Amino acid sequence: MDNLFSSFGLTPKESAAFLELIRLGACPVSKWATHTNTNRSSMYVLLDRLKSKGLVTSYIHHEILYVQAVSIAELPALLSDKQMALEKARNMLINSLEELQKLEKSQGLMPKISYYEGSSRVETMYENILKEKSFKAYFHPTRIKTMMPEYFHKIPQTLKINGGSAKELLIACKEATEYQKLYRSNKHEIEIFPQSVSFSSDTIVTDQKIYLVGYSDKYIVGTEIWNEELARTQSVLFDILWKSISK
């Protein structure tokens, strides 16, 4: 039953109190409190919560406060109203998303940081990267092909389909050579570091974000840093390194 009434935003304690009121029928609030083992002050807080959800009504009879659960037959309609309200709120949020994101990005040098632990969460981060129209990256093809094999191909393929552009610097390995042969183009420039160069994490830089991916033998973690100034700095440093490698 807890799962059922959680759809109305009720906690397990609130769900139990509501079920008890259904069993009791209309009764003084004091009786309801006794049957749910709830003290007076907490009972009135609980009553206000259930009334705000449209699940309980109250009235005065002979100067005594009575409470009554709504008819069970009304619950589907209440849930439908709640779902409609959520859908309306969702649509309003989507329509205002660009404006809200401008506010979010106007935080100056204060970066917004999100962490992604484990393969499934890093997949979510990579899906965010797929929405970017351009990026610059340092990465180790062997690691990504081992840990996240789908994205070894999905990122460059999606970039091509969407007409995006990228510059990538790869750690030297057989997978780097394979990747370069498959995906190098005028809009997707790919260079390979000298054999002496290696590093333990990948970095992807977009116009406003920096994505970091760290690996262990069996684990992968991602960090997303949303700050335009920091991303611009990393982009400049990438360009300096790119010029030295692509001569």
Q: Which 3-state string (H, E, C) describes the chain?
A: CHHHHHCCCCCHHHHHHHHHHHHHCCEEHHHHHHHCCCCHHHHHHHHHHHHHCCCEEEEEECCEEEEEECCHHHHHHHHHHHHHHHHHHHHHHHHHHHHHHHHHHCCCCCCEEEEEECHHHHHHHHHHHHCCCEEEEEECHHHHHHHCHHHHHHHHHHHHHCCCEEEEEECCCHHHHHHHHHHCCCCEEEEECCCCCCCCEEEEECCCEEEEEEECCCCEEEEEEECHHHHHHHHHHHHHHHHHHCC
* pLDDT for res 247: 66
Q: Would you list the domain boundaries of the chain? A: 2-70, 111-245
Task: Give the tens place of pLDDT for each residue, 230-241.
Answer: 999 999 999 999
Asked if 2-70 and 111-245 have one fold, the answer is: no
* pLDDT for res 219: 83
Task: Give the tens place of pLDDT for each residue, 185-198.
Answer: 999 999 999 988 88
* pLDDT for res 40: 83
* pLDDT for res 3: 62
Architecture in CATH for domain 111-245: 2-Layer Sandwich (3.30)
* pLDDT for res 108: 54
- The class (CATH top level) of 2-70 is mainly alpha
Tens of pLDDT along the chain (247 residues) come to 556 677 777 888 888 999 999 999 999 999 999 999 999 888 998 999 899 888 999 999 888 999 999 888 888 888 787 788 778 888 888 888 777 766 665 555 567 889 999 888 999 999 999 999 999 999 999 989 988 899 999 999 999 999 999 999 999 999 999 999 999 999 999 999 998 888 878 999 999 999 999 988 778 999 999 988 899 999 999 999 999 887 6
